[in-house]
């Protein structure tokens, strides 16, 4: 029976990575980056650095997936590299906000693009409807999930290529400088560049997506590293060229601070009617992003449910072998984000919180490799330890600047960990916390209510 569900191919695994990465970030981030940086070279350099850092992370996760072949991503890796408590905290973040919040953001953006065309239909209607439909699709069977994911991801890549080619060759270009200058140096070493890296980091998040479904990937020791590298490499090229296209086709003054940033270049490339068509297409192709996260995210809490009795509800599978309980609960959390949070706050909060655990995972990987130098694997990170060190330096930079320039969102990330620690300690009868609450699941609900109340107040 289990072998029936270990059929995700290299193509589908790579598609999952691409779909996870290409979503709200690339269609929103540029507008927020331009609030502090207007130099063309600095913007493109920002996206290139983001791609290099993500590729370094993907190379490391490829070997980690070979060393510790189990679904769950950071939850699995950190449990093995450090201890189950650290692994639980990462799984807690992934389960409560790590996937649920990006799903909400993509749904909100989809609603935003469609509401520009169907102006009499509430944005919230589109956002909620698409999430409900996709949740249903991924609760059927894995073959349907795979086909759905591959189709929409392929369409997404084609659309991005169409926008890039049309912008490069079939429209008038704006006057903007892309050669490095003294202004570029100032921008790169400015606080605005560091803060903008939050948005870029969020845009590239998802480079580790295939690691959450290791158990379901065919020949995972070979295909997991390949899918991470292929997916991340393709997205890096697309991101750099897409942002270059945005900058040369629309005036910066129109892009600054805009969430639906792709609408304005489309207006100059295809005309107002064409822009509306592109808005519809972008909205439809965000389905791929939502789908990939609705697919991957519940696998984390499913694995946690296999390890922890209090979460066993999430480990239960349907007749098709799918963790339907986990899928539905994650979508409910996403719906809460949709109705309580603003776009920029959630991106910054996520950028800080998720980076904490990818940073710890790569750090643990380096320490493990140094202790086990003689270990032989089917796949090894090239240029060790340079590759993981590049990732660690970038991650540390984000964490430091997050505390300095975005303290509210950063502290909220730490507060999320506090809730997770509280929940974890309640698993053990010997702790004093069990006196306060008998069933840990009640505590998790209480923690989520508090979390959303803090998000609402920010």
Mean of the per-residue pLDDT values of the chain: 80
Which CA distances in Å does 386 have to 35, 298, 366? 33, 33, 10
Q: Give the distance between the most distant pair of CA atoms in the chain.
A: 70
Please report, for the chain, the start and end positions of each structural domain, with discontinuous segments joined by +: 2-407
Compute the distance between CA of residue 421 and CA of residue 157 in angstroms, rounded to an integer.
40
Q: Token digits for 429? A: 């009868």
Report yes or no: 361 and 56 within 8 Å, Cβ to Cβ.
no
Residue 456 pLDDT more than 70?
A: no
Q: What are phi and psi of 156, to 5 degrees?
A: -60, -50
Report yes or no: 394 and 433 within 8 Å, Cβ to Cβ.
no
Task: Quickly tell me which residue has 């193509």 as its tokens.
Answer: 11
Most confident stretch, 57-71, 102-116, 413-427: 57-71
pLDDT of res. 350: 66
Lowest mean pLDDT among 172-181, 305-314, 397-406: 397-406
- Each residue of 260-291: pLDDT tens digit? 677 788 888 888 777 777 777 777 778 888 88
Report yes or no: 142 and 289 within 8 Å, Cβ to Cβ.
no
Compute the distance between CA of residue 227 and CA of residue 214 in angstroms, rounded to an integer.
11
- Nearest alpha carbon to residue 7 among 156, 144, 136: 144
Q: How confident is the model at residue 196 (pLDDT cuts 50, 70, 90)?
A: confident
Report yes or no: 402 and 410 within 8 Å, Cβ to Cβ.
yes
Specify the higher pLDDT residue, 93 or 164. Answer: 164
Compute the distance between CA of residue 458 and CA of residue 448 in angstroms, rounded to an integer.
16
- Each residue of 341-362: pLDDT tens digit? 655 556 666 666 777 888 999 9
pLDDT of res. 251: 86
- Nearest alpha carbon to residue 142 among 295, 291, 286, 303: 295
- Nearest alpha carbon to residue 140 among 306, 295, 365, 366: 295
Q: 280 Cβ partners below 8 Å, 6+ apart?
A: 113, 114, 117
pLDDT of res. 24: 66
Tell me the H-state helices in 170-262. 182-188, 191-204, 220-249, 252-255
Report yes or no: 259 and 35 within 8 Å, Cβ to Cβ.
no
CATH of domain 2-407: 1.20.1740.10
Residue 441 pLDDT more than 60?
A: no
Task: Quickly tell me which residue has 């295939």 as its tokens.
Answer: 210
- Nearest alpha carbon to residue 391 among 74, 59, 64, 57: 57
For residue 284, the surrounding DSSP H or E stretch is helix 263-307
Helices 343-371 + 440-457 axis angle, to 10: 130
Q: Token digits for 246? A: 């945005």
Q: Token digits for 358? A: 């990818």
Residue 393 pLDDT more than 60?
A: yes
- Bond prior to 265 in cis (omega within 30° of 0): no
Compute the distance between CA of residue 260 and CA of residue 378 in angstroms, rounded to an integer.
43
In this prediction the pTM is: 0.78
The radius of gyration of the chain from alpha carbons, rounded to an integer in Å, stands at: 21
pLDDT of res. 56: 95
Q: Token digits for 141? A: 């069977």
pLDDT of res. 52: 95
Provide the CA 155 distance to its chain's centre, in angstroms. 20
Specify the higher pLDDT residue, 231 or 300. Answer: 231
Q: How confident is the model at residue 366 (pLDDT cuts 50, 70, 90)?
A: very high
Q: What are phi and psi of 8, to 5 degrees?
A: -70, 125
Task: Quickly tell me which residue has 């270049």 as its tokens.
Answer: 265
């Amino acid at each position: 029976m289990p072998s029936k569900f270990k059929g995700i191919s290299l193509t589908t695994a790579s598609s999952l990575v691409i779909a996870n990465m290409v979503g709200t970030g690339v269609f929103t981030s540029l507008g927020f980056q331009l609030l502090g940086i207007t130099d063309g070279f600095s913007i493109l350099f920002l996206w290139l650095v983001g791609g290099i850092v993500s590729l370094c992370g993907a190379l490391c996760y490829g070997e980690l997936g070979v060393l510790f072949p189990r679904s769950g991503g950071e939850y699995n890796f950190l449990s093995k590299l450090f201890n189950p408590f650290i692994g639980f905290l990462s799984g807690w973040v992934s389960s409560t906000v790590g996937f649920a919040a990006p799903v909400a953001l993509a749904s909100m953006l989809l609603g935003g693009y469609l509401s520009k065309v169907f102006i009499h239909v509430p944005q919230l209607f589109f956002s909620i409807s698409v999430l409900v439909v996709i949740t249903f699709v991924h609760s059927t069977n894995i073959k349907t999930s795979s086909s759905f994911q591959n189709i929409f991801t392929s369409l997404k890549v084609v659309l991005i290529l169409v926008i890039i080619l049309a912008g490069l060759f079939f429209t008038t270009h704006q006057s903007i400088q892309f050669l490095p200058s003294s202004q570029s140096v100032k921008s790169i070493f400015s606080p605005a560049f560091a803060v903008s890296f939050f948005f870029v980091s969020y845009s590239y998040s998802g480079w580790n997506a295939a690691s959450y479904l290791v158990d379901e990937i065919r020949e995972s020791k070979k295909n997991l590293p390949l899918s991470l590298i292929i997916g991340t490499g393709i997205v890096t090229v697309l991101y750099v060229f897409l942002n270059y296209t945005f900058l040369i086709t629309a005036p910066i003054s129109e892009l600054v601070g805009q969430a639906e940033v792709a609408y304005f270049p489309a207006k100059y490339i295809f005309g107002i009617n064409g822009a509306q068509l592109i808005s519809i297409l972008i909205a439809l192709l965000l389905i791929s992003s939502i789908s990939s996260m609705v697919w991957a995210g519940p696998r984390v809490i499913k694995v946690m449910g296999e390890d922890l009795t209090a979460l066993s509800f999430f480990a239960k599978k349907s007749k098709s072998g799918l963790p339907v309980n986990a899928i539905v609960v994650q979508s409910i959390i996403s719906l809460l984000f949709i109705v309580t949070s603003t776009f920029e706050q959630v991106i910054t909060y996520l950028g800080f919180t998720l980076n904490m655990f990818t940073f710890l995972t790569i750090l643990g990987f380096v320490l493990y490799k140094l202790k086990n130098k003689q270990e032989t694997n089917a796949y090894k990170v090239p240029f060790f330890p340079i590759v993981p060190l590049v990732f660690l330096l970038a991650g540390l930079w984000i964490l430091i600047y997050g505390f300095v320039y975005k303290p509210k969102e950063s502290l909220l990330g730490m507060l999320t960990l506090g809730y997770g620690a509280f929940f974890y300690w309640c698993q053990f009868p010997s702790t004093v916390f069990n006196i306060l609450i008998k069933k840990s699941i009640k505590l998790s609900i209480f923690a989520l209510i508090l979390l959303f109340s803090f998000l609402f107040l920010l």
